[in-house]
Amino acid sequence: MITPAFHKSHIALAASTTNYDKPIINQQIVINNSKFGVKIVNPEGKVNFFPTTTVPLKEGDAYGWRITLDNYQGNIKGKVKWREVLTLPQAPETWTTENNKNFSISKDGRTATSTRTVTPVNGVIENFWTIAAGDPLGKHQIEVYIDERLIGTFAFEIVPF
């Protein structure tokens, strides 16, 4: 189940100075759309996104989220800084990421935190994880934050393929 299902939701905001050079203004974040699902690239290279909360454990496929923002500018003009917290039922055999600099793992190995600063394309921010050997089955959760404010929670289950 995806919680909450945002559609043109308005989130009340408070000022924050956490992890930023200057204070964040009380800018409202409007979420036009929020989805979790599986991303599969077909043999022709076309990317297909399938909304679901049940993810087959198939190596090479990817799962993740897409959030469409409405006119959010962030602290750096045109860029959005987001943080993702991925919690697994147990630690995987290995963790890998394209950007180790903005990535940390909890002591128990079950939770990964990633931070990115991106330029949204048509208002969309997103992140995906590629399924690998040794990834655990079971219930997972992803929380997504902008400016230290929770904007999306995605609960899903990885099941045998």
Query: Does 89 map to a domain?
Result: yes
Query: Does 113 map to a domain?
Result: yes
Number of structural domains found in the chain: 1
Q: 29-67 in b/e burial notation, b at 16+ Cβ within 10 A?
A: bbbeebbbbbbeeeeeeeeebeeebebeeeeebbbbbbb
Query: Does 66 map to a domain?
Result: yes
pLDDT tens track, the chain, 161 positions: 322 333 333 333 333 333 444 444 467 888 999 999 999 888 999 999 999 999 999 999 999 999 999 877 665 677 899 999 999 999 999 988 776 778 999 999 999 999 999 999 888 999 999 999 999 999 999 999 998 899 999 999 999 99
Instruction: Please report, for residues 28, 44, 72, 111, 143, the alpha-carbon distance to residue 135 in angstroms, rounded to integers and kept in the order given.
Output: 37, 27, 34, 13, 19
Query: Does 122 map to a domain?
Result: yes
Query: Does 57 map to a domain?
Result: yes
Q: Is the pTM of this model over 0.85?
A: no
Tell me, what's the pLDDT at 11?
A: 32
Query: Does 21 map to a domain?
Result: no
Query: Does 13 map to a domain?
Result: no
Query: Does 53 map to a domain?
Result: yes
Can you give the CATH number for the domain in which 71 is found? 2.60.40.1930
> Can you give the residue range of the structural domain that contains 84?
30-159
